[in-house]
Amino acid sequence: WQKTVKVAVTGASGQISNHLLFMLASGEVFGKNQPVALQLLGSDRSFGALEGVAMELEDSLYPLLREVSISTDPFAVMSDADWALMIGAKPRGPGQERADLLDQNGRIFVDQGRALNEAAGRNCKVMVVGNPCNTNALIAMENAPNIPRKNFHALTRLDENRAKCQLALKAGKFYTNVSRTAIWGNHSTTQVPDFINARIGGRPAIDVVQDMKWFKEEFTPTVANRGGALIKKWGRSSAASTAVSIADAIRSLVTPTAPGDCFSSAVCTDGNPYGIKEGLIFSMPCRSKGDGDYEICDDFIIDDWLRKKIAATEEELVKEKECVGHLIGI
């Protein structure tokens, strides 16, 4: 057996966690020989539900699940964590301004960032899901200087999966034929799903589909607005597919990336090869050797369409950063 991997999860009684925790415990994320301990964060609001989640996990008799602990103290939950999956966040209220949401959520991520800094494993990998996830990840990173900046991710894998789905449907191919599908920038409607570098069956997607109007006027907005479209149908935000994409995002870091392929993750822009402003958490194509670490792919073609779209999402993230300057010491 390998050493138990300790996974801290915030928002552990929420919808996404209700799918994800069972995937983590089953071995389908970290592998069938990898014991897991789950350290779950709740609040006074959610404590009963959290106890219920822990009871269900225990009753599932997963052979790899070695321990489930629950707490309302972020320092206890982050203790020695190898991974921190930061899912909890305050939802946007009716008519609430984005700046207020950034501020209120930002305060949660200041506290949890400090807890990471004090208590988590020194090489803890951090995946922020709670929205606005890029800027929340930035706040956590800036408040956790003891953890390498490179270890902070915000989830854009769901956007990548949505983009792959649309490309596969359009080309009439199974989605496993779609590769090199990057999402650039913010996990918001300014995100840039990259059809220029995407491949279908090993060929450029633009040669396979041969319909630029579709790429620009249908594919791009469909992917960027998919979250909102789903809320209209369901009356709540995506939970199961988000949990699947978090599992995908972790697996992409703990298994080697296929040659020539990539996965999307919003990571720190320090030293990035595309000239994107440093000090942001920005989705880019990455690849991994499977050791939990990654590098940013440096061979993606940036044409005029991508350059303009990337500049717009970059601008949005710069503005978000300005809104939370008081939480990150600038």
Q: Which of 8, 9, 46, 106 binds ligand NDP (CB under 6 A)?
A: 46
Closest CB 227 distance from ligand NDP, rounded Å = 6
Question: According to the binding rule CB under 6 A, does residue 98 interact with ligand NDP?
Answer: no
Q: Which of 131, 135, 181, 220 binds ligand NDP (CB under 6 A)?
A: 131
Using DSSP's 3-state secondary structure scheme, residue 180 falls into coil
Question: According to the binding rule CB under 6 A, does residue 78 interact with ligand NDP?
Answer: no
Give yes or no for a contact between 188 and 281, defined as CB atoms under 8 angstroms apart: no
Using DSSP's 3-state secondary structure scheme, residue 127 falls into strand
Q: Is 326 a catalytic residue?
A: no
In terms of phi and psi (left: phi > 0; alpha: psi -120 to 50; beta: otherwise), the region of 201 is: left
Closest CB 48 distance from ligand NDP, rounded Å = 11
| C-alpha–C-alpha distance, residues 13 and 46, integer Å | 7
| C-alpha–C-alpha distance, residues 250 and 126, integer Å | 10
Neighbours of 31 (CB within 10 A): 14
From the candidates 19, 153, 187, 326, which is the catalytic residue? Answer: 187
Q: Which letter, b or e, does each residue of 156-167 get, where b requires 16 or more Cβ atoms within 10 Å of its Cβ?
A: bbbbbbbbbbbb
Q: Which is nearer to ligand NDP, 9 or 205 (CB)?
A: 9
Closest CB 251 distance from ligand NDP, rounded Å = 16
Q: Which is nearer to ligand NDP, 92 or 173 (CB)?
A: 92
Question: According to the binding rule CB under 6 A, does residue 20 interact with ligand NDP?
Answer: no
Catalytically active residues, by annotation: 187
Q: Which residues bind ligand NDP (CB under 6 A)?
A: 11, 13-16, 42-43, 45-46, 87-91, 108, 129-131, 133, 155, 158, 187, 237-239, 242
